[in-house]
Amino acid sequence: MNAPNPALVPERAAARLPRLPLWLLCAAYLVPGVIGRDPWRNADVTSYAVMLGLAEGRASWWAPTLGGLPADAAWLPHWLGAWAIQGAGAWLGPDLAVRIPFTALLGLTLALVWYTTFHLARTPAAQPVRFAFGGEAQPVDYARALADGALLAFMACLGLLQLGHETTPELVQLSLVALLFWGLAAAPQQPRWAWAAVLTAPLLLALSGAPAVGLGLTGAALLACGLSHAADRRALCVPLALAWVGSAGLSSVAHTWVWRVALPDQAHELLSLVTLLAWFTWPVWPLAVWTIWKWRRQWRQAHILLPLAMGLPALLACVAMGGSDRALLLALPAMAALTAFALPTLNRSASAAIDWFSVFFFSLAALAVWITYSSVQWQLPAKPLANIMRLAPGFSPSFNALELGAAVLATAAWIYLVRWRTARHRHPLWKSLVLPASGVALSWLLTMTLLLPVLDYARSPRAVFSQVVRHTQAQGGCVLAAALPRPHLAALEVFGHQPVQALASWQDIPAAAQAPCASLVLQTRQPAQPPVLDGWRLAARVRRPTERNEVTWVYTR
């Protein structure tokens, strides 16, 4: 006997989101932050340094390095960035050239989330109840409305905001997970393309720095297809099994296995994990849980089983890695799809709660950005600027009329959207996610226009390493870097334009005495006196403007 269907959807609720506003919203989410900034510290600048080294021929394409040390085993993302730098030539700066394909990958991921949900919503078990006298939503209209909702839910995820706009391997992994998810969903309608997707995505994941997660996702997909009622989807067991074996073998041949398991075993670690899960996946996690509950009797149907198969391995990887936000990122496409199927079952009070929370939260966030911008430009009020100058001494404000105009238009669009949503009851299924997604896009656009100069000054390594390389370039030759963290080692390569030879610790400095390097860079935690090194003379003491504890020392022979 068929389980009761919780979706009661009249025809007017299946109206699709107008395409021009949707395209503008996607552009407001994708484009800001692409130009006008340096690679930011930690993962962003580290990946960029590896790509730049490949493009300039300073490292092997089959064994990428950073300062002579092996880089992360994420070949495909590094190759993609290096190809972009080489393809751009002198037309674009290398940092901008790298961001273009990664921004395109994020756009592709948005499209894959939409089409995946569209295919899942067209399955018979996902369709709404047929009314006795007609008037229910048509299958294609219903699927399109839910796909719009999934896209909005995906863009509304707070965790996607920063990680989705970096040039790191995780963005390539995210797009490949979305491709695998699409292949599973599209099998009944597009079997050939689905076979190609499920065959290639796991293999490419093995070359993108996530072989274990890729195997977990492929294994879960294989199990889900085996449990499926659709013959076309069960047929995917063959390519999935081949892909699982192939990706395991490819990972072994390429030596991309990395042990990252660090299970949380302390109370504060568990609390940090719960906090990460709560904010990173907001606002989709409560709606995804609601979907699982409301559709629990249909758990073996594709629209529930496949998102679970794509989401649970990533969640388990996040827990096993001690609360890794970059592993949790891979669960967002599945959670967005689950969120879409909560929309037909939401009552008016739940929808209103989401709307009003979004209105207050994002309006206050936008107001805070505008107040900070006013303080930076006109000292009205004066305190935010004083706080900025205290935290980032040396920052010099700048004015950009184009960025100001974009921010004004985005704020006006937000005010109009809030009025449109709250003035009267709206019927489309996706209505509850318009304000969360638009609020995230507004916050990102305002931050990447009005506050970009101060953020770039605070997060770019340029401020400190431009001072370091002024001394190292005067000496010429290569640079020894003793016990530098990888992001700082990357910044030294990016901004120094000199060969860098990394040393694992200070104890390796005497052994490197015969190296033809005329400069030495090391870092300490704010000592009273500089380290005394035989054969080296202290040339400079450099501190990051926004870091009180770290001190970088430059020595020359």
Q: What are the pLDDT digits (tens) for 242-272?
A: 999 999 999 988 888 887 888 887 888 899 9
Q: How far is CA 433 from CA 353, 385, 446, in A?
A: 11, 35, 20
Which of 271 and 504 is assigned the larger pLDDT? 271
Q: How far is CA 504 from CA 243, 489, 509, in A?
A: 38, 11, 9
Residue 446 has a pLDDT of 98
The span from the CA of 233 to the CA of 109, in Å, is 22
Residue 427 has a pLDDT of 84
Assess whether pLDDT exceeds 80 at residue 529: no
Burial of 328 (0-12, 13-18, 19+ CB in 10 A): buried
| Structural domains of the chain, count | 3
Q: What percent of the chain has pLDDT over 90?
A: 67
The domain boundary, picked from 424, 442, 459, lies at: 459
Q: Which residues have a Cβ under 8 Å from the Cβ of 238 and sit 6 or more positions away?
A: none
My answer on whether 284 and 254 are in the same domain is yes
Q: What is the pLDDT confidence band of residue 204, given thresholds at 50, 70 and 90?
A: very high
Return the top range by mean pLDDT from 21-25, 36-40, 477-481, 538-542.
Answer: 21-25
Assess whether pLDDT exceeds 50 at residue 1: no
Which of 527 and 330 is assigned the larger pLDDT? 330
Q: What percent of the chain has pLDDT over 70?
A: 98
My answer on whether 118 and 261 are in the same domain is yes
My answer on whether 290 and 434 are in the same domain is no
Q: What is the pLDDT of residues 70-94, one digit of tens each?
A: 988 899 999 999 999 999 988 899 9
Q: What is the pLDDT of residues 106-122, one digit of tens each?
A: 999 999 999 999 999 99
Specify the pairing of strand 517-525 against strand 500-503.
Answer: unpaired
Question: What contacts 24+ positions apart, CB below 8 Å, involve 370-374?
Answer: 370/411, 370/446, 370/450, 372/450, 372/451, 373/407, 373/450, 373/451
Q: Residues 210, 72: contact at Cβ < 8 Å?
A: no
Determine the average pLDDT of the residues in 4-10: 78
Assess whether pLDDT exceeds 70 at residue 211: yes
The span from the CA of 417 to the CA of 359, in Å, is 10
My answer on whether 306 and 366 are in the same domain is no
Assess whether pLDDT exceeds 90 at residue 145: yes
The domain boundary, picked from 408, 433, 459, lies at: 459
Determine the average pLDDT of the residues in 311-332: 95
Q: What is the pLDDT of residues 18-55, one digit of tens each?
A: 999 999 999 999 999 999 899 998 899 999 999 999 99
My answer on whether 474 and 504 are in the same domain is yes
My answer on whether 214 and 300 are in the same domain is yes
My answer on whether 220 and 291 are in the same domain is yes
Determine the average pLDDT of the residues in 226-249: 92
- Which domain, by its residues, includes 145? 105-345
Residue 132 has a pLDDT of 64
In this structure, of 70-74, 194-198, 237-241, the range with the lowest mean pLDDT score is: 70-74
Three-state secondary structure call for residue 63: strand
The span from the CA of 129 to the CA of 127, in Å, is 7
My answer on whether 162 and 179 are in the same domain is yes
The span from the CA of 77 to the CA of 170, in Å, is 9
My answer on whether 207 and 120 are in the same domain is yes
In a domain, 36, yes or no: no
Assess whether pLDDT exceeds 70 at residue 224: yes
Determine the average pLDDT of the residues in 522-541: 82
What would the two tokens of residue 62 be? 């089959």
In a domain, 66, yes or no: no
My answer on whether 489 and 516 are in the same domain is yes
Assess whether pLDDT exceeds 50 at residue 141: yes
As a whole number, the mean pLDDT across the chain is 91
Assess whether pLDDT exceeds 50 at residue 470: yes
The span from the CA of 70 to the CA of 59, in Å, is 10
Q: What is the pLDDT of residues 154-192, one digit of tens each?
A: 999 999 999 999 999 999 999 999 999 999 999 999 999
My answer on whether 455 and 519 are in the same domain is no
- Token pair 């504890």: residue: 549
What's the CATH code of the domain at 467? 3.40.190.10
Q: Residues 58, 67: contact at Cβ < 8 Å?
A: no
In this structure, of 107-111, 123-127, 336-340, 424-428, the range with the lowest mean pLDDT score is: 424-428
Q: What is the pLDDT confidence band of residue 308, given thresholds at 50, 70 and 90?
A: very high
Assess whether pLDDT exceeds 80 at residue 149: yes
Residue 301 has a pLDDT of 92
Residue 98 has a pLDDT of 97
My answer on whether 260 and 357 are in the same domain is no
The domain boundary, picked from 317, 345, 373, lies at: 345
In a domain, 326, yes or no: yes
Residue 410 has a pLDDT of 97
